[in-house]
């Protein structure tokens, strides 16, 4: 059989999300409040609807996907899985390469999988205004789309460097009815403080989160929506891995390695966590998170308590972090410029069940261009990180002669990222040196997890 697309019917869209918190070898350390004491779910009530808070702390293995959410998923799910036969040929590898393509969603990435769920629960509980941040613009677009579908007004704080690099992402959000600001703004105290510190700052996800949280906390009619990091967000993204497992079953195959790019961890966690059950059952499958080496959270950060945002408005979360003060270099994979990581991904990485690898910017674009020229799809710069590592694994197979099954999620298309590709072709893109001193200074403020 030489099939390329591995497809499922709409009836095979998962009916439940998989909650990895049920299967952790040791429980997740709790988030802490400003006094250093564990916080309860109540502390999150000003920012999130009750249903999402319950999911955040749940240890129930399977959580039903509400029918109105599944109905909207039908617009693009089940997402196709491809056997990358053209890429295999171009590489001359005996490896079997598979990818799950999340760029088929209306916003162009995996982010609507959680945006739709978050908008649904907010609307059901009577909240009709949301604030959020966006790095690459993929998350902002997704929540703008979901807001339009559920009659919710959305305000997006877009990291300044992305706002400048991607004007059409802003137009897209506005088309769906959202209001978009370049962050830092003068609308919030966090933004004004950041501008006073450095008027030329490129902005960061940590800073944009501070602005969105401050905005939501200052108004009784508003909740905050986060596009990654939190447990409930990773939970919603498990539709990716669950569908992929069903697709592998269809072709009677199973991956030796599962790869995902990792910013806040929702794409990687959503892809990889469902496979952990098989790993626990004794199947040899490696789970690999890929990050930029200019923002090397899992590979060079510290596993400690840190704030999710620059202004320290969020609780302290147990995660790998480069320090909430760290402003990553302005690489084009804006969605990977985050100082922290999902507590679930961090915990599993700390326990050795998940591997992490960091790759430089130019090598990711080289991989993305090779992918576009063989498979046709033009990937988002974030997704190029996963492609780089998938290609490296396939080249290792070429050397060893092994025919491994390599699987990655192609988390989004890069149609709004052409300025970055232009710069790459013009030779203007650079590899940033690992910002050692800046990271060391930022790490100094972190609080250890557990005694000592
Ligand atoms: C296309 C794409 N892939 C991956 C990511 C990384 O985010 P996360 O690690 O939360 O999945 C982003 C974030 O914006 C993105 O836009």
Q: Which residue has the tokens 């939190």?
A: 230
How many angstroms separate the first and last alpha carbons of the chain?
A: 57
DSSP codes, 261-274: E-SSSHHHHHHHHH
CA distance 6 to 56: 32
| Mean pLDDT (whole number) for 356-375 | 98
Query: Ligand 1: which of 136, 262, 408 to mutate, most ligand atoms within 8 Å of CB?
Result: 136
Q: Around Cβ 184, how many Cβ atoms within 10 Å?
A: 28
CA 298 to chain centre: 14
pLDDT digits (tens, 9 = 90+) for 48-104: 999 999 999 999 999 999 999 999 999 999 999 999 999 999 999 999 999 999 999
**What is the DSSP pairing of strand 153-159 with strand 179-183?**
parallel
Alpha carbon of 208 to ligand 1 centroid (Å): 16
Domains of the chain with CATH codes: 5-10+66-108+232-443 (3.40.50.1100)
Q: Is 289 in the pocket of ligand 1 (CB under 6 A)?
A: no
Check residue 374 and report its DSSP letter: H
Contact indicator for 397, 403 with CB cutoff of 8 Å: yes
pLDDT digits (tens, 9 = 90+) for 319-341: 999 999 888 888 788 889 899 99
Q: Is 318 in the pocket of ligand 1 (CB under 6 A)?
A: no
Contact indicator for 360, 431 with CB cutoff of 8 Å: yes
- ∠ CA 63-144-290, nearest 5°, is 65
pTM here? 0.97
Contact indicator for 6, 81 with CB cutoff of 8 Å: yes
Alpha carbon of 140 to ligand 1 centroid (Å): 11
The sign one gets for the Cα dihedral 120, 123, 129, 130 is: negative
Q: Is 135 in the pocket of ligand 1 (CB under 6 A)?
A: yes
Q: Which residue has the tokens 């959680």?
A: 114
pLDDT tier for residue 438 given thresholds of 50, 70 and 90: confident
Residues linked to residue 83 through DSSP beta bridges, in sequence order:
98
């Amino acid at each position: 059989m030489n099939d390329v697309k591995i497809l499922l019917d709409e009836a095979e869209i998962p009916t439940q999300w998989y909650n990895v918190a049920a299967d952790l070898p040791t429980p997740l350390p709790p988030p802490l409040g400003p006094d250093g004491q564990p916080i309860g779910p109540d502390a999150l009530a000003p920012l999130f609807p009750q249903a999402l808070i319950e999911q955040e702390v749940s240890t129930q293995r399977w959580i039903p996907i509400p029918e109105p959410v599944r109905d909207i998923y039908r617009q693009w799910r089940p997402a196709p899985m491809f056997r990358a036969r053209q890429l295999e040929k171009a590489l001359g590898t005996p490896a079997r390469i598979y990818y799950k393509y999340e760029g088929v969603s209306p916003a162009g990435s995996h982010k609507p999988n959680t945006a739709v769920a978050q908008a649904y629960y907010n609307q059901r509980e009577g909240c009709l205004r949301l604030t959020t941040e966006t790095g690459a613009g993929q998350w902002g677009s997704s929540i703008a789309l979901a807001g339009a579908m559920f009659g919710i007004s959305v305000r997006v704080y877009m990291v300044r460097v992305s706002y400048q690099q991607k004007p059409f992402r802003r137009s897209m959000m506005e088309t769906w009815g959202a209001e978009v600001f370049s962050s830092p703004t003068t609308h919030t105290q966090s933004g004004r403080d950041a501008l006073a510190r450095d008027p030329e700052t490129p902005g960061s996800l940590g800073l944009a989160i501070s602005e969105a949280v401050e905005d939501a906390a200052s108004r009784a009619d508003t909740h905050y929506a986060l596009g990654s990091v939190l447990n409930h967000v990773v939970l919603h993204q498990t539709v990716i891995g669950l569908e992929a497992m069903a697709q592998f079953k269809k072709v009677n195959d199973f991956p030796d390695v599962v790869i995902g790019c990792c910013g806040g961890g929702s794409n990687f966690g959503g892809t990889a966590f469902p496979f952990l059950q098989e790993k626990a059952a004794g199947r040899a499958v490696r789970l690999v998170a890929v990050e930029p080496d200019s923002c090397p959270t899992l590979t060079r950060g510290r596993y400690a308590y840190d704030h999710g945002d620059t202004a320290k408005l969020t609780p302290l979360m147990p995660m790998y972090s480069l320090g909430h003060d760290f402003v990553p270099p302005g690489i084009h994979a804006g969605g990977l410029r985050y100082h922290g990581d999902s507590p679930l991904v961090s915990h599993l990485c700390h326990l050795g069940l998940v591997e992490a690898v960091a790759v430089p910017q130019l090598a990711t674009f080289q991989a993305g261009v090779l992918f576009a020229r063989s498979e046709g799809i033009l990937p988002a710069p974030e997704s190029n990180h996963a492609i780089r590592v998938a290609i490296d694994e396939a080249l290792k197979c070429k050397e060893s002669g092994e025919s491994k099954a390599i699987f990655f999620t192609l988390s989004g298309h890069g149609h709004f990222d052409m300025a970055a590709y232009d710069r790459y072709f013009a030779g203007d893109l650079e590899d940033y040196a690992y910002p050692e001193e800046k990271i060391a200074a930022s790490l100094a403020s972190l609080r250890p997890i557990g005694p000592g």
